[in-house]
């Protein structure tokens, strides 16, 4: 990884941007290092050179060259940016420290699950840049069509997002890839549309390929994923990193659901009277077809 004339990253966000920019030019060893830094800056912040080298299976010299090749002041420059990120996150989340204490081993399972989900939501929303949020809301509200895709475990928040947006605007499509129909569904994606992909580790190959294809097609791409090392982050114009820690081996989708609901609320506000008109039409149809049971008495 040769050094370039670009100025060295001064913040962790600039470091992420530089690692994504270099992308496929990284060697396999550098790629493993980049993925570790993007996915676990908190851990890297206090690792020694040898600890990071052992963690990703490279030699210490590779770690030092990797950091220097980014224009940083060697390995200390890399850990400094990771520590800076850790301090910023701590400032945003200090009021949720009590939630962390509730997740200690041996606590009540119900209490631990609730505390983890609250912490997941808090971390997720604390990491959302306001400018990116507004740009995403505008894309979801104003694009000619919106396409939402999430498979397997991520189908639930993707379906919810498609359902809620479909109540607020026309031309919303949930991509299910059912019975081998993915390519048929992707043919509807046009330049200027908005494509939303939802996936967490292990990442669905079809979701990753679909998002990359949509971006090449000229769509505005949004990703709801778990960390900056996700392959969805590279293809997305607007990546959102959602915490999914759970009380057991199963990962939690609660923060994904909360983020989806917040995005839908933002679209409703952006569309104003247009969203209200759509909802009124929906209510009229529901009543005419007797969709819901009305309790007697």
Q: So where are the chain's domains? A: 12-90, 126-287
CB 236 within 8 A of CB 139: no
Separation of alpha carbons 101 and 98, rounded Å: 5
Return the H-helix or E-strand segment holding 239.
strand 238-241
Strands (E), 26-116: none
- In this prediction, residue 106 carries a pLDDT of 53
Pairing of strands 194-198, 220-225: parallel
Closest CA to 66 of 95, 97, 27: 27
What torsion, rounded to 10 degrees, do the Cα atoms 159, 165, 171, 172 define?
-20
CB 224 within 8 A of CB 258: no
Low-confidence ranges of the chain (pLDDT < 50): 3-4, 94-100, 102-105
CATH superfamily of 126-287: Glucose-6-phosphate isomerase like protein; domain 1 (3.40.50.10490)
What torsion, rounded to 10 degrees, do the Cα atoms 266, 172, 139, 278 define?
-50
Buried b (16+ CB within 10 A) or exposed e, 88-107: ebeeebeeeeebeebbeeee
Separation of alpha carbons 88 and 156, rounded Å: 32
Return the H-helix or E-strand segment holding 62.
helix 60-69
- In this prediction, residue 102 carries a pLDDT of 47
Separation of alpha carbons 102 and 98, rounded Å: 7
Task: Please name the CATH architecture into which domain 12-90 falls.
Answer: Orthogonal Bundle (1.10)
- Rounded to two decimals, the pTM is 0.73
- In this prediction, residue 6 carries a pLDDT of 66
Closest CA to 147 of 201, 206, 220: 220
- In this prediction, residue 95 carries a pLDDT of 43
Separation of alpha carbons 156 and 214, rounded Å: 21
Return the H-helix or E-strand segment holding 196.
strand 194-198
Separation of alpha carbons 104 and 152, rounded Å: 30
- In this prediction, residue 83 carries a pLDDT of 86
Separation of alpha carbons 180 and 293, rounded Å: 36
User: End-to-end distance of the chain based on CA atoms, in angstroms?
Assistant: 73
């Amino acid at each position: 990884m040769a050094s370039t004339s670009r100025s060295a990253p001064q913040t962790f966000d600039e470091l992420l941007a530089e690692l994504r920019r270099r992308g496929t030019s990284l060697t396999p060893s550098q790629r493993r290092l980049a993925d570790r830094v993007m996915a676990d800056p908190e851990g890297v912040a206090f690792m020694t050179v040898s600890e990071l080298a052992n963690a990703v299976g490279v030699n210490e010299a590779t770690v030092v060259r990797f950091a220097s090749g980014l224009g940083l002041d060697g390995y200390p420059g890399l850990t400094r940016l990771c520590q800076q990120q850790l301090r910023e996150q701590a400032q945003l989340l200090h009021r949720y420290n009590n939630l962390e204490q509730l997740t200690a081993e041996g606590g009540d399972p119900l209490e631990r699950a609730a505390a983890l989900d609250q912490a997941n939501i808090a971390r997720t929303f604390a990491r959302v840049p306001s400018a990116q949020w507004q740009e995403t809301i505008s894309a979801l509200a104003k694009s000619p069509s919106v396409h939402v895709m999430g498979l397997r475990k991520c189908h639930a928040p993707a379906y919810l997002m498609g359902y809620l947006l479909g109540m607020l605007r026309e031309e919303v499509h949930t991509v299910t890839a059912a019975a081998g129909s993915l390519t048929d569904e992707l043919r509807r994606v046009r330049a200027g549309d908005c494509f939303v992909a939802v996936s967490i580790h292990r990442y669905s190959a079809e979701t990753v390929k679909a998002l990359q294809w949509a971006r090449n097609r000229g769509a505005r791409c949004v990703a709801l994923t778990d960390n900056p090392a996700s392959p969805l982050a590279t293809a997305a114009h607007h990546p959102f990193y959602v915490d999914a820690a759970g009380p057991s081996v199963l990962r939690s989708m609660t923060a994904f659901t909360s983020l989806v609901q917040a995005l839908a609320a933002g679209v409703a506000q952006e569309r104003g009277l247009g969203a209200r008109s759509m909802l009124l039409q929906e209510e009229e149809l529901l009543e005419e077809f007797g969709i819901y049971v009305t309790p007697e008495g």
